[in-house]
Amino acid sequence: MNKKHQIHNLIILDESGSMGSIKNNIIQGFNELVQTIHGIEKQFTDQEHFITLISFNGLGQKLLHFADPASQLKHINDKSYQPDASTPLYDAMGFGINKLKQFLQGKTDYNVLVTILTDGEENASKEYKGSSIKQLVEELKQNNWTFTYIGTDHDVEKFAASLSIQNVMSFEKDAEGITDMFQKDRNARMIYSDRLHRHEDVSMNFFDE
């Protein structure tokens, strides 16, 4: 049996207090995204998808999944996702990216797709600075890592650019905007997996359809 190509989906989800107003839409959208990743894995039988899910706020980071097979993924709900406190985004990125990077050391034949979903700029990190996150992103982009930044309520493109992330999507902070955002993300994931399946370059603009 041929070894399958591994795709690690690292999702870093803002759980700060300001996400409270869109909490239910985020829960629904994320759970639909899980179904999409299941579907992609079934369609591209040469691929094996894993999910690492980290939510974060000023109270700390929650590692809800770590390199778990997509088939084992549980839905999030209003008990596992409870927005509160501030936005230590650099710390969450540093924690999640480094943990997965360490896990993948010595492995080959994989791609990593990182998705950051937030409604506000960094405001509370203690361990990491923007410059060290930018350096990490630039290093890993050379090693089959793709970074995407999805945001609202701040200058999304400018902030993403400060971290050397070019794959950017802004969304409106309402039910319609969130539905549209998750739909675009699901479509982009499908195209990404199709390109990997065809052995094409995936360092393109992720959200270009």
Query: Could you report the per-residue pLDDT of 68-120, keeping only the tens digit for each?
Result: 999 888 889 999 999 999 999 999 999 999 999 999 999 999 999 999 999 99
Please state, in angstroms and rounded to a whole number, the distance separating the CA atoms of residues 78 and 47: 31
Percent of the residues in the chain that have a pLDDT greater than 70, as a whole number: 99
Residue 4 in contact with residue 40, Cβ under 8 Å? no
The pLDDT score that the predictor gives to residue 40 is: 96
The helix/strand count (H/E) of the chain reads as 5, 6
Measured in degrees and rounded to the nearest 5, phi and psi for residue 205 equal: -65, 115
The pLDDT score that the predictor gives to residue 169 is: 97
Longest Cα–Cα distance in the chain: 49
Query: Could you report the per-residue pLDDT of 181-204, keeping only the tens digit for each?
Result: 999 999 999 999 999 999 999 987
The pLDDT score that the predictor gives to residue 1 is: 57
CATH match for 5-104+113-154+162-197 among 1.20.1250.20, 3.30.70.890, 3.20.20.150, 3.40.50.410: 3.40.50.410
Q: How many CA atoms lie within 13 A of 83 on its CB side?
A: 19
- Residue 154, pLDDT > 80, answer yes
- Nearest residue to 14 (alpha-carbon basis) of 65, 107, 83: 83
- Residue 2, pLDDT > 90, answer no
| Burial of 85 from C-beta contacts in 10 A (0-12 / 13-18 / 19+) | middle
Sequence spans of domains, the chain: 5-104+113-154+162-197
The pLDDT score that the predictor gives to residue 29 is: 94
- Residue 209, pLDDT > 80, answer no
